[in-house]
Amino acid sequence: MEPFEHIDAKTVDEASRLLEEYPSKLIAGGTDLLGMLKDRVLPSYPELLVNIKSIPGLDRIEGDEGGLKIGALAKLADVAASPLVKEEYPLLAEAAHSVATPQIRNMGTIGGNPA
């Protein structure tokens, strides 16, 4: 692994600014990214990892009249275990529960999954 800086972003605006200003990557649970850094499979190596787990409020799972809202930092395990998701969106709960292993589901986030 090559050296990199690590910053705990406090807000979405701060994370966005850091991404613009530096050769950087967001890090959430790190389940995919750290492996990619170790294996050096990214086209370019980031100088900075911007941790977004330090931004409050991004892990919410909420329902309203517009539907289901899942924050980018909601963990796969939390989506799978959410009473709201299990009751109203059982296929989503099942899909989240089917991902990988308990360790990955307890660290990996919804936002990091498609990225």
Ligand X SMILES: Cc1cc2nc3c(=O)[nH]c(=O)nc-3n(C[C@H](O)[C@H](O)[C@H](O)COP(=O)(O)OP(=O)(O)OC[C@H]3O[C@@H](n4cnc5c(N)ncnc54)[C@H](O)[C@@H]3O)c2cc1C
First to last CA, the chain: 21
Q: Under rule CB under 6 A, how many of the chain's residues touch ligand X? A: 22
- Indicate whether 92 belongs to the interface with ligand X (CB under 6 A): no
Six-digit token string for 85: 């998701």
Q: Which residues are CB-contacts of 82 (< 8 A; sequence separation ≥ 6)?
A: 61, 93
Q: What is the contact mask toward ligand X in residues 4 to 33, using x (rule: CB under 6 A)? A: ---------------------xxxxxxxxx
71 binds ligand X (CB under 6 A): no
Choosing from 7, 19, 92, 104, the residue that interacts with ligand X (CB under 6 A) is 104
